[in-house]
Structure 1
Amino acid sequence: MTTAFLPTSPLPSQGDRNAYYILTGDYPYGSKHFEAGNMCFLSERSFRKYISGERSLSVFWRVTMVEDNSLITINSEVLQPLNDELVVFLLAVNNPRERLNCFLERHGLDAAVTARPGQQVMVDLDQHLFPGIIRYVGKIVSGSSSSVLAPFYFGVELQGDCEGKGRTNGTYNDREFFKCKPNSGLFLPFNKIQFIPALGGEAMKQEVKPEAAALVPVKVGDVVGFYLDDVFTQGIVMAVYKERNDWIVKVCSEEEGATDVFREIPMDSVVKEGLLSPAPETDGDPGFHKLTKRERSESGENLEGSQVTLDVNSVVQISLDKGNSVTGTIRWVGYLPKTEYKTAGVELDGEMGITDGEWQGVRYFQCPPKRGLFVKLKSCQPDMRFLAEGYPPLYPSPLSVQKSPPVVGNFPPLRDGTAVRVLKGPMKGIQGHCNSCYMDAALFSLFSCTSVLDSMLFKPALPPDGAVQKILRDEIVNPLRRNGFVAASSVMHLRHQLTEKGQCSSFATSEKDPEEFLNLIMHHILGIEPLLTLQSGGHKEQECYCYQIFMDKQEDLVVPNVQQLVEHSFISSDLKLVEIPSCFILQMPRFGKEYKMFSKIIPSLELDITDLLLDSPRECFVCGAVATQECSACFRDKKFADTGLKQYCDSCCKQAHSHYQRRAHKPSKLHIPEEFRDQTCSASLRIPREKLELFAVLCIETSHYVSFVKYGPEKEDWMFFDSMADRHGDENGFNIPMVTLCPEVARYLELPVAALAMEQPRDMKGVAKRLFCDAYMYMYQSKKMALYK
């Protein structure tokens, strides 16, 4: 049941005397339509009336829209309060949808509030990032009226090779806000900036002054070399400053693969690119730590072999007799009784072992029966599917593919230009291995560009299940959001844990359905609340995590959209949503991997669930007044519109059913919320629409899952992910995941239905055919409800 709530807000500031709010949903008002993300305010006097006294229970407030200074009456359910320090930064974001995303995700907004002049940042220009320094924070124009706050912008001076790519020398409208070289400055809203976290001791650091620049051998943007843990490494200079009497260089290591991980290195320990000597010779890849002879012997390596240290969770292959070999994951390393050599307890990928992790009555690790094996550590070799000779230099080093180190912290989802920079390209996304595509595609869809299910990562878990949550967060989601890449070994680690928790011996080797994986990890392991609560025909409520669309074949639906399919399915099953879901996962009407009911399905970028909600106010689809009756038979009447449930006010219901073809219909009474009962005859009252936003689509073709993800607000902002897009090597090779942009999707979304129906799949450009023809699962979100769940 949807319930009205009263937004709370801090008291208006003394200087402004207004209370500000942001719309979390679209709101029609007369001939106007205010998008979610628009902002409004009301005076201190009105504010106090609404939160106290006789009007404290009022759902409708009289506010002023910042967009055009118009006065409207708005349902307070769509409002979220803002304080002044957030308002000034949000006002600088022109696109309402993007503004709402910034408010809901908060990471960039919180960083903007605390940012100060002199701070290093990365500037987003045409989907490329450039280093810069904040020189000014504040307003550059007066407010739109005396009662509205003025937006705050960041004045940034571009650094290094980016000098000259700006648009100003620090002046705006003939007023100087800071000084820099011509065309080296920019005034930007906060959403076009990536704020670099300040490291310790900032107060002791002195930025390089122009007159001292000539004395410093390196500058921002230079490529330098240095030693990191005895490994020769290269990186990009992000800042140069003096700390007490020493010059320090802040470097983003190319090995780290992210712009928010930095090393502070003394100036005399770095060498500029042009002066770099050839990399020191080693027995293998120069990026590997050179082990001592004893270390290499202990880890199972000979002097001529690969220099990869094997440890718990390493993925390995073991040679057996007659040239046979098996693969598995090391679960224990140590010395067994009466043995002088280091032993590995390995969980095999198949039932070719002799134990379940027990040796002579003592348990060393846990695995399914006949999947465990104890062998000499030196008999184990890195699994060549993850570590191959001649690894292409374009890709991450073999060491990182063999075993991805955990990434601890809280990393926001990737959006807009940042998503493109971090995720686009080969060896990006999640690496597929051994029928893992169902899991790879689902995880990429749920976590790469949205935070709607981040509760799975941080909800307190019971001790037995904490390991699963930790793997999901630190070995998969965080590396994906920080580096744009997750090695197959990390997903295999999760699959082994799910095999144990789910009591299904094939989770680590066999192909599954995405919904089977999601139900297992959400319900049985992490125990998060069901995403959906449904009621059928007034019977007991049912809870679930995914909704399967069931419906009879509709001859008139040649190329349906998702909105139509959901409405038909709900009508057929007499279903209603008990509450607005924060995440709505829909399975399309198809059975198995071969049969699908429709050859094409049009993605609905927004899913309107207003009329699918139980006991929610509804609008008469004829006159717009508050609806009192619903008719499921009219929904199938071809004389009416092909979308939208058919509900009426009393007078329109009587008139519609006076037609001889509809006299046998049996409309059902609707529940009307208390605050709407006096408005049933009024067409001037606008019923707020509840809409969900599409953020990802899983597709399947010939038993292989891929995914499409919406990474930004524009129609062209789509990316396509395939965890097994390419392969390096043959049987002993490895899969190469790939993320590509697919703006061509927008072209087909804009086609008329008749034209789309005539499009031959083989002629559709790029990967668009897979989105329209192979859809398996659609994922929608309500960021407004994610605030409360």
Structure 2
Amino acid sequence: MAQVGREVDDFLMYFILMEKIPVGTRAVEPGRLCCMSEESYIQSVTADQNPAHSLSVSVMEDNVHIDADVNVLHPLSRKQAALLVAIPSPRERLCCFLDRGPLDQAVRAEVGQQVLVEHEQKLFPALLHYVGSLLNTSTLLPPVYFGVELEGEGEGRGDMDGSYKGVTFFKCKKNSGLLVPFNKVLFCGIPPLEEVGIPSLDTSSSNTVNSGDKAAFFVNSSLKRGLVISSNQTAARFVEVLPQEDNVSDNQTSASDWKSPNNGEKVNENFRDRNLEVNSLVQIQYKEQELAFGIIRWLGYLPKMEDTMAGVELEEDKGCTDGSWLSCRYFFCPPKRGIFVKLKVCQPDTRFLSGKDGQPKSLEVSTHRIYESQSVQGKVPPLQEKAAVDVLEGDMRGIQGHCNSCYMDAALFSLFSCSSVLDCLLFKPSSLPNGEIQQTLREEIVNPLRKKGFVSADSVMMLRHQLMQESQCPSFTTSEKDPEEFLNLIMHRILGADPLLKLQSEGQRVQECYCYQIFIEKRQELTVPNVQQLLEQSFHHSNLKLTEVPSCFIIQMPRFGKDYKMFSKIVPSLQLDITDLLYNSPRECVVCGHLATEECADCFKDVILSDLGTKQYCTVCCTQVHTHHKRKDHKPVPLKVPEGFPKAQGLHKIHRETLELFAVLCIETSHYVSFVKYGAEKDRWMFFDSMADRYGSENGYNIPRVSLCPEVATYLSSPLEELLNQNPREMKGVAKRLFCDAYMYMYQSKRMALYK
């Protein structure tokens, strides 16, 4: 799913209703668009420092208010909402949203590009002239339409010349213009990034098509699209269809089942005999003594080539294409990673072969196994420096994903691969008498990860089954959860671990929790904040202090669900200074550096005195600062100095209490990944994805990958102004995901971990 952006001047939040909501004697059907003010949303989620379970939203088309569970409200950007509202049928609108590919392409569409338009049950080439609303209206969100000029056979089959109700939106030939919603447009100039399937093509069209041409057609009134892979002079015989994201049908034909329309024979028995198909892992002789490894992204025939060809995405930059051949695109991959070779030169990747038959193992749905996972008993220390690289780097490394497990895979890898801060969870007596879940976590997941560098999907599934039974939640083995839900369950209810955080608001009792959710007010000056700033703002907003230094501090970013983000980029703070966030702890005056005796919450936003948000002063500086006419109404409060601490100014250096960042859990397109710091140097970062690749199709298995990403250190050390102007798409490697997709930051205090 594409990432939802944020509009700078938009102070409304938009949602699409995913399920039916009863309202009195009727119901609000799914597909309706809803909205609420940003201010109301922030008030809802900050109430009692707990996220709201439901939101009060307005149904835009019915002008009614409903209370809806947050899980049935999917956030939209303003641009997405405006495109969807142009589709009159809520049912069709929801289908278009779930399809996502065309919607994401419509958001990126630009005037002047060539498109195909569905009109009169046919597709016609067209030129996009206009994108926008039609007339001035009092509608809260004016729908966005596409103004197109039909070309070729479509010329003269439109209903306008670019004018609508006396207003000219664009100019085109008479009766060649149309104003249509985005679901009637095929954005052929903006390629979708999907996998491949092979349906048959209706050859009734009289249009001349050639091998390699892009094609679109109707099957049972349903629009299909793809590339021609075989043709005669008048009609395409086969097309390779690029299905919509996450919508590959179960009855799609694999490459081994391509048939000729004339005689029904297989195109090439080689496909089946060699067990090679789209998504097969292969190796190719690159040089005399060198192999190149990759994954088949496309199978078929190329123009003027008799042999069956394979389009392969290589692991390294040893190729010569990005998936295009003779100006036609057959698959998508990074530049210099693609290559077209004869299928017969491809061999199964021997790194993933096992057994005497030399065939890759498959992850059977019934058992969830690919490799027999051997449990590792005892204590295995976390990996650091060279040992981390030797054990963890590469394919089939880390924790293998299966069946929506990425939230758990990424969380476990982040917490345990290279840090021991929560090893108490592995050995402290469990709150459950039999301790099976703790044993599984220790001996089937953490210890094998640290010793062998790989944890198979069956080990994680074993843990998920146990969590399902203990929590009585049947979806634990099938559905994606939030990482904080998983961490709270296993740490609190099952392992009975002491709370990681103890928080207190003035005059209130101590609150205990395992993760901290940041809630802040919108501040225009914070365009690219760092974690330190966000944490200080959140504590100030909620009037909170830490009653003790935590050994592990897990911080959730200010966002709604998996999509809505308050900030497009957040800079990770490698060191988190919590000195001024501690309750009854000695602190320095922000002006002179002596022992502080008073704190002023009203000075928080004053950047003249200090860049720090939290402001505390010694007695002298507090008096001087508040003689200024802008601060006369401020109300400083006295600070308590711990007993035994020298109160004479300047006699004792205040110790700064800092935590170090050891992992970041990120989410993009509903998929969790993680960054882990594996050494002291700035460039010691590795990136983990439990489903980075896949072998086979339905009965195949996911390939986890751990890769080094030293490039993130370059951006972490960049000036804020450079980061502000940095285009995320131009960031090298996986750095974009660290800065733009952060969901949860994990900090540790090695000093305090010794006592836990």
Counterpart in the other structure of 1:560: 529
Determine whether 1:599 maps to 2:599: no
SS in 1 for 2:504: strand
SS in 2 for 1:625: coil
Counterpart in the other structure of 1:491: 460
Amino acid aligned to 2:476: F
Counterpart in the other structure of 1:755: 722
Counterpart in the other structure of 1:536: 505
Counterpart in the other structure of 1:478: 447
SS in 2 for 1:627: coil
Counterpart in the other structure of 2:733: 766
Write the distance in 2 (CA, Å) between the matches of 1:686 and 1:470: 45
SS in 2 for 1:678: coil
Deviations 1:219-256 (A, max 9, x none): xxxxxxxxxxxxxxxxxxxxxxxxxxxxxxxxxxxxxx
Counterpart in the other structure of 2:587: 618
CA shift, 1:464, in A, is 4.1
SS in 2 for 1:413: coil
Alpha-carbon contact 1:635-1:646 (below 8 Å) kept: yes
Counterpart in the other structure of 2:221: none
Counterpart in the other structure of 1:340: none
Write the distance in 1 (CA, Å) between the matches of 2:506 and 2:533: 20
Determine whether 1:783 maps to 2:720: no
Counterpart in the other structure of 1:418: 387
SS in 2 for 1:674: coil
SS in 2 for 1:507: helix
Find 1:660's aligned residue among 605, 626, 629.
629
Alpha-carbon contact 2:591-2:609 (below 8 Å) kept: no
Counterpart in the other structure of 2:656: 689
Alpha-carbon contact 1:617-1:627 (below 8 Å) kept: yes
Write the distance in 2 (CA, Å) between the matches of 1:581 and 1:456: 15
Write the distance in 2 (CA, Å) between the matches of 1:684 and 1:417: 44
Write the distance in 1 (CA, Å) between the matches of 2:658 and 2:535: 13
CA shift, 1:396, in A, is 7.4
Determine whether 1:447 maps to 2:447: no
SS in 2 for 1:658: coil
Alpha-carbon contact 2:665-2:673 (below 8 Å) kept: yes
Percent of residue pairs identical: 67
Counterpart in the other structure of 1:357: none
Deviations 1:705-745 (A, max 9, x none): 00000000001000000000001111211100000000000
Counterpart in the other structure of 2:558: 589
Counterpart in the other structure of 2:699: 732
Find 1:460's aligned residue among 429, 435, 447.
429
Counterpart in the other structure of 2:350: 393
Alpha-carbon contact 1:448-1:477 (below 8 Å) kept: yes
CA shift, 1:478, in A, is 0.6
Find 1:642's aligned residue among 611, 627, 635.
611
Alpha-carbon contact 1:465-1:526 (below 8 Å) kept: no
Residues 590 and 462 of structure 1: CA distance in aligned 2, closer, same or farther (over 3 Å): closer
Write the distance in 1 (CA, Å) between the matches of 2:752 and 2:665: 23
Instruction: In structure 1, list runs of 5 or more residues that go unmatched.
Output: 1-389
Counterpart in the other structure of 2:125: none
SS in 2 for 1:622: coil
Amino acid aligned to 1:603: P
Write the distance in 2 (CA, Å) between the matches of 1:781 and 1:593: 25
Determine whether 1:509 maps to 2:478: yes
SS in 1 for 2:744: strand
Counterpart in the other structure of 2:541: 572
SS in 1 for 2:675: strand
Q: How does 1:209-228 map to 2 (within 5 A)?
A: none
Alpha-carbon contact 2:432-2:495 (below 8 Å) kept: no
Find 2:397's aligned residue among 428, 451, 469.
428
Write the distance in 1 (CA, Å) between the matches of 2:549 and 2:472: 33
Write the distance in 2 (CA, Å) between the matches of 1:575 and 1:715: 32
Write the distance in 1 (CA, Å) between the matches of 2:722 and 2:384: 32
Counterpart in the other structure of 2:101: none
Counterpart in the other structure of 1:364: none
Write the distance in 1 (CA, Å) between the matches of 2:520 and 2:530: 14
Q: CA RMSD in A?
A: 1.6
Q: How does 1:162-173 map to 2 (within 5 A)?
A: none
Amino acid aligned to 2:740: C
Write the distance in 1 (CA, Å) between the matches of 2:570 and 2:637: 31
Counterpart in the other structure of 1:698: 665
Write the distance in 2 (CA, Å) between the matches of 1:404 and 1:590: 37
Deviations 1:550-591 (A, max 9, x none): 001111111100000000000110000010000000000011
CA shift, 1:465, in A, is 4.8
Determine whether 1:669 maps to 2:626: no
CA shift, 1:675, in A, is 2.4
Q: How does 1:698-717 map to 2 (within 5 A)?
A: 698-717=665-684
SS in 2 for 1:693: strand
SS in 1 for 2:659: strand
Alpha-carbon contact 1:432-1:723 (below 8 Å) kept: yes
Instruction: In structure 2, list runs of 5 or more residues that go unmatched.
Output: 1-346, 355-360, 363-368
CA shift, 1:544, in A, is 0.2
Alpha-carbon contact 1:626-1:676 (below 8 Å) kept: no
| Count of aligned residue pairs for this structure pair | 399
Write the distance in 1 (CA, Å) between the matches of 2:701 and 2:678: 28
Q: How does 1:281-320 map to 2 (within 5 A)?
A: none
Alpha-carbon contact 2:431-2:496 (below 8 Å) kept: no
Alpha-carbon contact 2:686-2:707 (below 8 Å) kept: yes
Write the distance in 2 (CA, Å) between the matches of 1:581 and 1:692: 9
Deviations 1:286-317 (A, max 9, x none): xxxxxxxxxxxxxxxxxxxxxxxxxxxxxxxx
Q: How does 1:354-393 map to 2 (within 5 A)?
A: 392-393=349-350
Residues 728 and 639 of structure 1: CA distance in aligned 2, closer, same or farther (over 3 Å): same
SS in 2 for 1:692: strand
SS in 2 for 1:676: coil
SS in 2 for 1:719: strand
SS in 2 for 1:706: strand
Counterpart in the other structure of 1:409: 378
Write the distance in 2 (CA, Å) between the matches of 1:463 and 1:632: 44
Amino acid aligned to 2:468: T
Write the distance in 1 (CA, Å) between the matches of 2:604 and 2:727: 31
Alpha-carbon contact 2:595-2:647 (below 8 Å) kept: no
Amino acid aligned to 1:780: Y
Counterpart in the other structure of 2:288: none
Write the distance in 2 (CA, Å) between the matches of 1:530 and 1:601: 27
Counterpart in the other structure of 1:218: none
Write the distance in 1 (CA, Å) between the matches of 2:518 and 2:472: 28
Deviations 1:325-364 (A, max 9, x none): xxxxxxxxxxxxxxxxxxxxxxxxxxxxxxxxxxxxxxxx
Deviations 1:348-387 (A, max 9, x none): xxxxxxxxxxxxxxxxxxxxxxxxxxxxxxxxxxxxxxxx
Residues 463 and 590 of structure 1: CA distance in aligned 2, closer, same or farther (over 3 Å): closer
Q: How does 1:192-231 map to 2 (within 5 A)?
A: none
Determine whether 1:518 maps to 2:487: yes
Amino acid aligned to 1:408: Q
Write the distance in 2 (CA, Å) between the matches of 1:689 and 1:615: 14
CA shift, 1:462, in A, is 4.5
Deviations 1:747-789 (A, max 9, x none): 0011111110100010000000000000000000001111111
Alpha-carbon contact 1:449-1:709 (below 8 Å) kept: yes
CA shift, 1:497, in A, is 0.4
Write the distance in 1 (CA, Å) between the matches of 2:439 and 2:349: 31
Alpha-carbon contact 1:567-1:645 (below 8 Å) kept: yes
